[in-house]
Chains A and B, each alone.
Chain A
Amino acid sequence: MSEINPLVERELRSRMRGPRAYITITGFLGVISLVALLLYLSTAGQSGGDANAGPEIGRLLFWVITIVGLVLVALITPVFTAGSIVGERERQTLDLLITSLLSSRQIVLGKLVAALAFIAVLILSIAPIISVSFMIGGVTPGDVIVAFGCLAATGLFYAAIGLFWSSIARTSIAATTLALGTIVMILLGVPFVVVIVGITVSGRELPEWLGHPAAITVWALIIDSHPFVALALSLEHLAAGGDLWLQPVSSGSPLALVEPDGPVTLPSPWLMNLLVSLGGAALLLRASARALRPTDRRP
C-alpha cells in the first residue's frame, strides 16, 4: 500500500487538535518530574560528602522513574485505546469504516498504531530524566535497555487489551472498566498465583516433571508476564553481573520449583515479558479484528 493507514493520520490529527494530548503528556511528565525532584531533595540532604553516594542516588532515581513510568503507562495506555473502536460505535461511524475498503485488520491496526505513536511519545519523554540518572552514575546501558524494553512491551500489550475490549463493548465506559479490570487482574493475579504456588509446594514432595525445561519455561513465562516483576528480576540479574539477554536457571532459582533435569538457560525476564506481550497482543488484535467482521462466512 502506497499510503499510510488513513485512520492513523486522522486519529493523530484530531487527537493532537484537542487539549487532551497536551494535558496527558504534561500530567505524565509532571508526575515523573515531581517524584524525581522529591527523591533528589530527600537523598541529597542525607548523603553529603559520601563518595559512594553518586551511583547510589543515580540508581535509585533510575529505579523510581522507571517504575513510576511503568505504572503510568500501564494505566494510561488501556484508557487510551479502550475508547477507540467503541468510540466509533458511539459516534455511529463504525458502520462507515466497516463498509469502506478498510479491512477489519486495518481498522484495528490503524487504531493501535495511532495509540502506540502517542504512547511512544510518553515513553520517550522519560528519556531526558533517565539520562540524568545515567550521568549521576550507577546506571549501565543494559539497565536502560531493560527499562525501555519493559515500558514498550507493556505499552503494546496493554494497548491491545484496551483495543480488545473496545471492539466488544457497547459503551466507552464499559470498555475502559473492563480494560482496567483486566490489567488489575494481571498485576494482582500473577503475584497471587506465585504466592499460592509457593505456599502449596513448600515442604512437599513435587512431581519430577516440574524439572523439565518446558515446565520451567512455562513457569517463567507466568512470572515474567508481570512487567514489574520482570523489570526487577532483570535489573537485579544485571546488577549481580548477569547477562543482558540470557538467564541460567539453577537449582536455587525461584524459577526452579524442583531440581532442573539439566542446565536450562532462558531468555532474560524482560525478554520473556516481551515475548508474552507480543504473543498476547497478537491474539487480542486478531480477536478484535474478528469482532468487527459481521458477515464474512467462514468455511
Chain B
Amino acid sequence: MAIVTTHELTQQFGATTALDRLSLEIPAGAVYGFIGPNGAGKTTTMRILTTLLRPTGGEAHVAGYEVTRDPAAVRAAVGFMPDSFGVYEGLRAWEYLDFFGRSFRVAAKRRVALVDELLELVGLAHKRDAPVMSLSRGMQQRLSLARAMIHDPQLLILDEPASGLDPRARIELRELLKELGAMGKTIMISSHILTELAEMCSHIAIIERGRLLVAGPVERIMRSVQAHRVLDIRIVGDGAAALAWLRAQPAVRAAELMPGDAPDRDTLTADFDGDDQAQVALVRGLVAAGIGVLSISEARNNLEEIFMRITEAAP
C-alpha cells in the first residue's frame, strides 16, 4: 500500500516550473531516497507533502488524505525535518522536545517519558539539560529528528538531513535512520548525493528540473544501470575500421570514436551490456580481428556516475 502518492504534481513559481507533473508513489515501510541536483524540486515536493505549500496543479495524498483538503490529518501522519534547523534561544533540549510534544497534543503523562526515550534514541540523553543553541550541528540535526518523531508519525520526511555533517556524523545518522526503518517507519529522505542513500534505501527516485527520471526499488535501478558498462578501448591503426567492427557486435549498444592523444592513436568508447563472458569474448574478438589494441579499461561505473549519466541524459 502506498503511503504517499502524487499525481501530476505541478508547482509554478512565476515563470519557473519547480515541479513538472511529478507522479510518485511511496510504499508503506519504504526508505525512499529522493535524489536530484540543486534546484531539482526536492524541497518543493516535500513542502507540498507537509502542507506548507499549495501546489499549482495536480494532487498529493499522504496516508490517504489529500494535502490541501485535509491538512490537519496529513500533519498528524507526518514528521517533517526541514533543511534548516530552527532554534529557540533560551530553551533546553528537553524543553524543546516537550514544547513540540505539546504542540502535537501528546498527553502530559506520556510526554515526560517520551522526551527521554527520544533523547536516548538519538544519542542525546547526556545533553538533556543543555541549551539547544549550544549543541553542535550534528547534535541539532539529531535533536531535530527526535522532534520530527514526537507524535509517532507513520511517515518521516527528511530534507537533506546529512548536509553539513562530518563523515562520522553522517555514518551515525545513517545508522539511526536504518534503525528507524527497522522500526517500520516510512522514511522519505532527500539528498543530492546518491551514494549517501543507496546503501540504506529500499527505493530510489531521481528527479531533475521538476521531472521524475527514474523511480523504483533500489536493486532494480542498480541492476538496470549496472548491467551495462562503458569500455574505453585505446588503439593504434585504423580507428574507423575498429569502430565499424565494434558496432557490428550484438552486445555493443553504441560505440564512438574519440580523437586519441597522438596522431596514429584513437580511443573508442563502447556502451556494452553483456556479462563478463561476453566481455572476454569481445576482447578476444578485437585481437582476432587484427585491431591494434593498446589497452582496454572499464570506465568507473559507480553510483555517482550513474547519477550523472541519468541526469545528463534528460533533455
Using a CB–CB distance below 8 Å, which chain A residues touch chain B? 3, 6-7, 9-10, 13-14, 17-18, 88, 91-103, 294-297
Contacts and interface: CB of A to CB of B under 8 A. Distances in A.
A93 B95 CA distance: 15
Given A99-B51, A296-B71, A91 B87 contact: yes
14 contacts: A3-B108, A10-B95, A13-B91, A93-B88, A95-B80, A95-B86, A96-B82, A99-B52, A99-B80, A100-B75, A100-B100, A294-B53, A295-B54, A295-B67
Contact of B86 (A13, A91, A102): A91
A262 B161 CA distance: 72
Contact of A99 (B78, B89, B105): B78
Contacts of B85: 92
Nearest to B105: A101
Interface in B86-126: 86-91, 95, 99-100, 102-105, 108
A100 B91 contact: no
A101 B76 CA distance: 7
Interface string B45-67: 00010111110000000000001
A283 to B, nearest CB: 24
Contacts of B284: none
B82 A92 contact: yes
Contacts, number: 83
Given A294-B53, A295-B51, 18 more contacts: A9-B102, A13-B91, A13-B95, A18-B89, A92-B84, A92-B85, A93-B88, A95-B86, A96-B80, A96-B100, A99-B75, A100-B75, A101-B151, A294-B51, A295-B52, A296-B71, A297-B54, A297-B69
B68 A296 contact: yes
Interface of B: 48, 50-54, 67-69, 71-72, 75-76, 78, 80, 82, 84-91, 95, 99-100, 102-105, 108, 147, 151
A94 B76 CA distance: 17
Contacts of B88: 10, 14, 91, 93
Nearest to B107: A2
A286 to B, nearest CB: 18
A18 B78 contact: no
Nearest to A17: B90
Chain A to chain B: the 5 pairs with minimum beta-carbon distance, closest first: A93-B86, A6-B102, A14-B90, A100-B103, A92-B86
Contacts of B84: 92
Nearest to A100: B103
B90 A13 contact: yes
A118 to B, nearest CB: 15
A25 B87 CA distance: 26
A220 B104 CA distance: 46
A294 B54 contact: yes
